Amino acid sequence: MIIVFKPNSPEEKVLEISKIITDLGYEPRIIRGVEHTVIAAVGDEQMHRSLDILRMFPFIENVIPVQKRYKLTSREYHAEDTVVSIGGEKIGGGNFSVIAGPCCVESLEQMRTAAADLKKAGVKVLRGGAYKPRTSPYDFQGLGEEGLEILKQVSTEFSMPFVTELLGVSHAAKLSKMADCIQIGARNCQNYHLLEVVASCGKPVLLKRGMATTVEEWLSAAEYLIVHGCRDVILCERGIRTFEPSTRNTLDLGAVAVAKRETHLPVAVDPSHAAGKLDLVLPLAMASVAAGADAIIVESHPNPVSAASDAAQQIPSAKFADFMSEIVPLAKLMKKKLSETK
């Protein structure tokens, strides 16, 4: 930590803070500038109490961390790309994958039609929500366990592993048995208890970025997963809330580049929840591939008009091959391997 004093702080205050830093287990190194005095506190912030407390002193201007809040997630800790397998489909490490399926599971017929269309289009991994985090309690909340059973049945029939969202701890045991990859949705990115629980499920986790979390907070959430025993983490950017209303969420592609640079984890993008509208999904998906995404997760429904949630952003599954024909060449141009070409 770097502790910055306000200009012309008296020497006795500097010595007082220096003593507190020593008492907290760090080694203080005082650096006296013309106006500002700075103390570099040397020591592992994981081992000692936080020095953030020093902010309470009126003569302290700032307390700046020099160590990253996330460690096991960082490339400094693990230089090689981590490759996560979702039921055999490799995510990360130079591979590129498209995960697709309806926003929510509505019926066996809906999921079977979607899976058949998507498989024909070259999609290897299905998505679909059995438990849905809806903004209004009056909206369709998902089929719950019945939805999970449908996902499992369709996944087995079409040999397509699936990703589905975990909403609460009471569903964790069931999901850990059935899902190939468990999604933590944007609303739960900072639900630390849920992160601890999902980390011990023994399944890969797709961690969406919260709609108001910074990249550091998102990567710290990934750190929770790794610290609590889940090494197979896929980060997923899905747009953040800004002042801009023309898309549902503002797709932060800068965060994709930063996450790729800062971490060894695969980075996926969900262009559907960023776009909010069908015609914007393809350009945002293409931009995601160009920004270096290892995977995209896209909503697609056999009949979007009748969809129980997110109708406006879902690609008709019968047209998904057209979407793939734009994405696949771009992924290849980015020197990514796709499972059919491996």
**Angle at CA of residue 86, ends 82 and 90, nearest 5°:** 50
- 185 is in the binding site of which of Mn ion, ligand PEP, none (Cβ under 5 to 8 A by kind)? ligand PEP
- What is the secondary structure of 9-55 as a DSSP string? --HHHHHHHHHHHHHTT-EEEEEE-SS-EEEEEES-TTTS--GGGGG
**Beta carbon nearer to ligand PEP, 171 or 208:** 208
Residue nearest to ligand PEP (CB): 185
Backbone angles phi, psi at 327, to 5 degrees: -80, -45
Q: Which does 238 bind (CB under 5 to 8 A by kind): ligand PEP, Mn ion, none?
A: ligand PEP
For residues 135 and 233, what is the distance between their CA atoms, to the nearest angstrom?
Answer: 26
Structure token digits, residue 188: 């739960």
Query: Binding to Mn ion by residue 206, rule CB under 5 A?
Result: no
- Hey, what are 88's tokens? 């055999």
Q: Measured from the CB atom, is 34 or 305 closer to Mn ion?
A: 305
186 binds ligand PEP (CB under 6 A): yes
Q: What phi and psi, each to the nearest 5 degrees, are found at residue 97? A: -135, 150
Q: Does 129 bind ligand PEP (CB under 6 A)?
A: yes
Q: Which does 256 bind (CB under 5 to 8 A by kind): ligand PEP, Mn ion, none?
A: none
Footprint (CB under 5 A) of Mn ion, residues 17-36: none
- Tell me the CA end-to-end span of the chain in Å, nearest whole number: 46
Kindly tell me which residue out of 310, 327, 331, 336 binds Mn ion, with binding defined by CB under 5 A: 310
What is the smallest separation between the CB atom of 242 and Mn ion, expressed in angstroms? 19
165 in contact with Mn ion (CB under 5 A): no
Query: Using the rule CB under 6 A, is 185 a contact of ligand PEP?
Result: yes
Q: Are 299 and 320 in contact (CB under 8 A)?
A: no
Least distance between ligand PEP and beta carbon 124 (Å) = 18
Identify which of residues 81 and 299 has a Cβ nearer to ligand PEP in the complex. 299
Q: Using the rule CB under 5 A, is 178 a contact of Mn ion?
A: no
Runs of H (alpha helix) within 67-186:
108-121, 145-158, 172-178
**Contact status: 103 vs Mn ion (CB under 5 A):** yes
- Structure tokens that stand for 77 in this block: 């800790």
C-beta of 272: minimal distance to ligand PEP in Å?
8
User: Does 238 contact ligand PEP by CB under 6 A?
Assistant: yes
Contacts to ligand PEP by CB under 6 A? 103, 129, 133, 185-187, 208, 238, 270, 273
